[in-house]
Amino acid sequence: MSNAVTGQAAEQSAKAAPKKPAAVNVPPRQVKRTPPVTPSAQTAAKPPAQIAKLPAVAQPKPLAMQSPTSALDGFPGFNEEVEGADRPQGGSVIHGTLIKFTSEAEWVTGNGDEMSRERELIVVDIVRIVQKWVDQMPQETIIVPPGEKFPDINAMNEAAPQSEWREDLNGKKVGPYQKQIVVYLLDALSLDKLTFPTSTTGGGMACRDLSDKVAWMRKNRGPRVSAVITLSDKFMPTKYGGRQRPHFEVVRWIGFDTGEGGDALPAPKPVLTGGAAATPKTPPWNEVEEPSLKEELNDDLPDFAK
């Protein structure tokens, strides 16, 4: 009887169990594959469009400051006449400390600090330029080569649009182009660079006087001669009675002799404690005497009269 009961229980358990679904034939998942690109197809494919390169922008060429050991063509070629075509160039004309001569006859830096009139400065070079000013900023610098005349600045201003014209300090309408003369100097002790730009009548007279003296001295003593000057002023007659103008007082002459190919400036003097510069026993230049009257006259005499 127990066997019968066991069989019945097994039959009932089989009926209560969940039936397994019949197996269904499901096709495998189809994966779409991209066929490989053949070498020939790769060659024929067009490359992506390239972005056009922007044209190179020419950088302004810096204005080189010559050394006293070089032949400074700016002095013998100094010319204040106006004519000719311009030669646009770039770069800043200010090297080192900017110095100015005020309407109160004072020498000051660009920051307004007073310049000592006992400070000895070596004359390095003189450069004539024309600058175009727009919104009180120089937009173009034209460097006039030694021996050539200034370009026709009046014609250049007449060709400029009226929107670029401005008022000067006297309230007069002037064009954007302005003539300037720039004198480059070195401190005789520290060799710090200084720059004196001027566009005034008095400043031009000071530059012309200095240029004449340097050119005369180099004619008699060679191209490596430089003037040592101090900053001064001199009376200048005007239609309003007169005023002081800038003046470069030549205190002595020096010459550099570094041998063949020597263009380097003398090394700056070492700085001592407290900021004072050491004074060497032998300066890096030679003192040069002005030619005597006899020497000067002999230069102009024919050989048979010497």
104-113 per-position pLDDT tens digit? 999 999 999 9
Stronger pLDDT, 162 or 83, i.e. the higher one:
162
Asked whether the whole model's pTM tops 0.85, one would answer: no
Question: Cα-atom radius of gyration of the chain, to the nearest Å?
Answer: 42
Question: Do residues 179 and 143 lie in contact, with contact meaning Cβ atoms separated by under 8 Å?
Answer: no
Identify the pLDDT of residue 74: 65
Tokens of 179: 């003539």
Tell me the pLDDT band of 144, cut-offs 50, 70 and 90: very high
Q: Which long-range contacts (CB under 8 A, 24 or more apart) does 19-27 make?
A: none
- Name the average pLDDT for the chain: 74
Tokens of 261: 């190919």
pLDDT tops 80 at residue 263: no
Taking the C-alpha atoms of residue 181 and residue 198, their distance in angstroms, rounded to an integer, is: 5
Alpha helix stretches (DSSP H) within the chain: 2-16, 39-44, 153-159, 201-221, 293-300
Tell me the pLDDT band of 87, cut-offs 50, 70 and 90: very low
Mean pLDDT computed over 159-181: 91
> C-alpha distances in angstroms, 172 versus 155, 156, 166?
18, 18, 8
The amino acid at residue 125 is D
List of residues 6+ apart from 57 with CB closer than 8 A: none
Identify the pLDDT of residue 136: 84
Tell me the pLDDT band of 285, cut-offs 50, 70 and 90: confident
Tell me the pLDDT band of 296, cut-offs 50, 70 and 90: low
Question: Do residues 174 and 133 lie in contact, with contact meaning Cβ atoms separated by under 8 Å?
Answer: no
Tokens of 211: 């240029």
Mean pLDDT computed over 225-238: 96
Phi, psi of 214 (to 5 degrees): -65, -45
Lowest mean per-residue pLDDT among 37-41, 85-89, 176-180, 272-276: 85-89
The amino acid at residue 139 is Q
Taking the C-alpha atoms of residue 270 and residue 69, their distance in angstroms, rounded to an integer, is: 21
pLDDT tops 70 at residue 266: no
Stronger pLDDT, 149 or 80, i.e. the higher one:
149
Residue 196 CA to its chain's centroid (Å): 15
Identify the pLDDT of residue 239: 87
Mean pLDDT computed over 213-231: 93
The pLDDT tens digits for 174-186 are 999 999 999 999 9
pLDDT tops 90 at residue 226: yes
pLDDT tops 60 at residue 157: yes
Taking alpha carbons only, the member of 122, 124, 96, 105 closest to residue 250 is 122
